[in-house]
Chain A
Amino acid sequence: MISEKVVYERPVALSVNRTHYCPGCTHGTAHRLVAETIDELNIRERTILVASVGCSVFAYDYFDVDACEAPHGRAPAMATGIKRVSPDNIVFTYQGDGDLASIGIGEAIHAASRGENITIIFINNAVYGMTGGQMAPTSLIGQKTTSSPLGRDPKLSGTPLHIAELMAGLPGVAYSVRRSLHDARHVIQAKKAIRLAFEAQMQHLGFSLVELLSTCPTNWGVAPGEACDWVREEMIPVYPLGDFKVAEPLRARSQRGGQ
């Protein structure tokens, strides 16, 4: 007798749909981690996704949950509206760094400052992916992008914005951490953080945010493997992984971020 055991399958919270993400893009990885979390917590039937404007705009096609699509940067405001009228639903936004750290920084900070009981999955890939690789507030000093062809000059365009640390300074925030998706070990750590972020919401602890260092091989102009190396070698030194705010009830299970 051969006995079979399923060790890996599609999370129920992911729709049967082919994504449009480029080869080597870690948006897909992040989707899977969120979907696994939704499955594990058994919250698919009460979860509402607020998709944002960026490469992940079609996230509502990939998650098998009720979903809407916010104007560029406004996802935290829309999520606020939903959560306030439907506090029993689990509400999360999925936003890129152009969306959250640039045009939507006001909505993001005020949602955090109100302690809005929502979860934000924040994808930091150091560029505007969808519009063709322009500079983002998160682009590294010296990073060449289509709108900083000579490299980001801090005198001209300032310095990288550290969202996870910034949010951690606000009392309304229950959970704010940074993880990376560049290799398997870090993906597992990212998964644990995403789960804690959703649990923070389920326990009504307040605002939770997971910043995920993510790849954009297409706009970085490198192969997928090199993109992962670039995250490790260039991004992590600027964006240290770690836990910047963990509310007391979650602390025993937080992992201090890993390296």
Chain B
Amino acid sequence: MSKQLLKGNVALAEAAIRAGCEAYFGYPITPQTELLEHMARRMIELNRVFLQAESEVAAINMVYGAAVAGTKVMTSSSSPGISLMQEGFSYIAGSNVPVVVIDVMRGGPGLGNIQPSQSDYNQITKSAGHGDFHPIVLAPATVQEAIDLTVLAFDLAETYRTLVIVAADGAIGQMMEPAELPPMRPKREKRPFWALTGAAGRPKNVITSLYLGADNLEALNNQIQDKLALIQGHEVRYDCYRMEDADSVLVAFGTAARVAQTAVDHLRQEGFPVGLLRPITLWPFPERPLRELAQQVDTLLVVEMNAGQMFHDVKEVVGDQAEVYFTGRTGGAIPTPDEIERVVHGLYNYYLDPDYSPVGVLA
């Protein structure tokens, strides 16, 4: 298959279809609407299940239903809708069923706006619902990667029987780029053994997140924690750019990482030895590579399209090993390479002249 010019949202939808998505339930919200609209046409065409739900609350519970029935199922939304789905996420986590969710993030809080943002970082990596769990969170930086990570999301969801969130943003959802779609996977014929299919010739299957008694619920929690540890051990993904001889490193994901990469190129041309570490899995967070990196470089600058959410994770991992700074934009603004470069210049000046106060940098 060859490359074609694809819009991010359409690419995400078509990638899900080719990865074997059997059912989609969703509710319209900008900037992910084209995703739902592509599903509306294609899923019906392919004789699969598409349903526009009455709300995100209903959508995620329809997804939960299709998941307990053992189908590959997904929904998509954007930040306010993701907030509404959190109750469902928690039940999905508490009952160990595979689900894929695509979050095309927009600016918040409140109704915010429909511009690209990364302000869901905390709510999807850390507080995706009540109780102790984390979804796997995959953050694409290009349309091609959005496709690849969506396919991976379905596989990880099945392997670990877990919730996987593809965290794109409005820029990735709306941009057009040349990308290659994977071939269509053949239809899966059999439902998994644990699924609710009717208790014919076997004892009944029950899927619940209710465990009365502290011992029972603690056993479930221990099992979930073991699973999360396994995921942390096996599924960390990240990308390094121009790390050779770097003494300062930018840390950024998704759209912010694309801008940071351009800034790195410019800074390198100017002679500043700067690299980029790009987490691809936001959870599990690339702790080990970051810790190792912190031993080699002096300064880390976290660049985000929020007020500094991943910044705290970087800071916690790095500790006193290196200086960690943050720069970012909120409200749906995307930082420019120029803005990032100015901050990096400031940091280098600061080292030459301790009286220099770096502008726009939060320590």
Contacts and interface: CB of A to CB of B under 8 A. Distances in A.
Interface of A: 15, 44-48, 50-51, 57-58, 60-61, 64-71, 74, 77-86, 89, 106-107, 110
Contacts of A58: 210
A121 B229 CA distance: 41
B65 A77 contact: yes
B23 interface: yes
Interface in B16-37: 22-23, 25
Contacts of A46: 198, 200
Interface in B259-295: none
A74 B66 contact: no
A203 to B, nearest CB: 18
A74 B61 contact: yes
B196 interface: yes
Interface string B61-83: 11111111101010000000000
A68 B207 CA distance: 5
Contacts of B67: 81
Contacts of A78: 61-62, 64-65, 68
A64 B203 CA distance: 8
Centre residue among A67, A82, A83 by max chain B CB count within 10 A? A82
12 contacts: A50-B65, A61-B206, A65-B198, A67-B207, A68-B68, A74-B57, A74-B64, A77-B57, A81-B64, A82-B69, A85-B23, A89-B69
Interface stretch (B46-54, B242-250, B324-332): B46-54
Contacts, number: 129
Given A80-B62, A81-B66, A82-B65, A48 B196 contact: yes
Centre residue among B25, B54, B88, B205 by max chain A CB count within 10 A? B54
Given A45-B199, A48-B198, A85-B22, A69 B208 contact: yes
Given A66-B204, A69-B208, A107-B58, A80 B198 contact: no
Contacts of A89: 69, 196-198
Nearest to A86: B69
A57 B211 CA distance: 11
Nearest to B54: A110
Centre residue among A15, A46, A48, A64 by max chain B CB count within 10 A? A48
Given A78-B64, A78-B68, A110-B54, 4 more contacts: A46-B198, A48-B196, A66-B197, A81-B62
Interface string B177-214: 00000000000000000001111110011111110000
A66 B197 CA distance: 7
Nearest to B49: A84
A80 B65 contact: yes
Contact of A66 (B49, B198, B209): B198
B95 interface: yes
Nearest to A15: B204
Chain B, interface size: which category?
Answer: 35 or more
Contacts of A83: 65
A66 B51 contact: no
B87 interface: yes
A11 to B, nearest CB: 14
B55 interface: yes
- 9 A-B pairs closest in CB distance: A81-B65, A77-B61, A45-B200, A81-B62, A78-B65, A46-B198, A74-B61, A69-B208, A81-B66
Nearest to B58: A77
A137 B57 CA distance: 21
Contacts of A107: 54, 57-58, 61
Contacts of A48: 69, 196, 198
A115 to B, nearest CB: 12
Nearest to A69: B208
Contact of A85 (B71, B205, B206): B71
A51 B91 CA distance: 13
A131 to B, nearest CB: 15
Contact of A71 (B25, B54, B88, B197): B88
A50 B88 CA distance: 15
A68 B197 contact: no
A66 B193 CA distance: 12
Centre residue among B22, B49, B64, B91 by max chain A CB count within 10 A? B64
Contacts of B23: 81, 84-85
B88 A69 contact: no
A71 B91 contact: yes
